[in-house]
Amino acid sequence: MGKKLAVSWVTFACCEDSSILFVELLNEHFFEWKEKLDFRYCRLLKNKGNSFDGSDVTFVEGAIATKEDEEELKMIREKSKRLVAIGSCACTGLPSAQRNTFDDSTRREIMLIVERFGHLEKVHPIKDIVKVDYQVPGCPMDEKIFLDTLSKLLAEFEVK
Ligand code: SF4
């Protein structure tokens, strides 16, 4: 069996539409990716044995809204050789970060929830917290840029 790219897929604050798009792409790419990708952490595809340990690449969808998510993202960065921001929320924060632009009166209305659920004062794109190697923009992600990025990563890790 040839070398595989160890990949993980994780989502933070978002609507998970890029996850849906990724699963839809399996309709076309399942047999090709079965030979080339080893899914380490991907709760979309498996509910047992999920771990970021040994990930060559982790795809991160969504923005960072809580201290807990911030710490998890830092842990994921340490365990992943490459990190890819998936979709506009991960790349820029928006639209998940809309509360950052609320006026004072609207902010006062949501403060109870922000404090009670341990949310950060602002919602962040992942590049505010950790180094990002590649970005796939779009809402949801641009399918072509995702496939191009995956091809680059397969070449970089010499997976044929
Ligand atoms: S970028 Fe768009 S599609 Fe992706 S999680 Fe955010 S809102 Fe949803």
Say if residues 109 and 86 touch (Cβ distance below 8 Å).
no
pLDDT digits (tens, 9 = 90+) for 23-64: 999 999 999 999 999 999 999 999 999 999 999 999 999 999
120 lines ligand 1 (CB under 6 A): no
Tell me the C-alpha distance between 159 and 27, whole Å.
21
11 lines ligand 1 (CB under 6 A): no
Tell me the C-alpha distance between 73 and 130, whole Å.
8
Give the residue whose CA is nearest to atom 2 of ligand 1: 139
Say if residues 97 and 139 touch (Cβ distance below 8 Å).
no
> How much distance in Å is there from the Cα of 141 to the middle of ligand 1?
8
140 lines ligand 1 (CB under 6 A): yes
The CATH number of 5-96+124-155 is 3.40.50.700
Say if residues 66 and 117 touch (Cβ distance below 8 Å).
yes
**CA atoms 149, 152, 158, 159: torsion sign:** positive
**Where do the structural domains in the chain lie, given as residue ranges?**
5-96+124-155
Q: What is the pTM of this model?
A: 0.95
Question: Bridge partners of 13?
Answer: 63
pLDDT digits (tens, 9 = 90+) for 55-108: 999 999 999 999 999 999 999 999 999 999 999 999 999 999 999 999 999 999
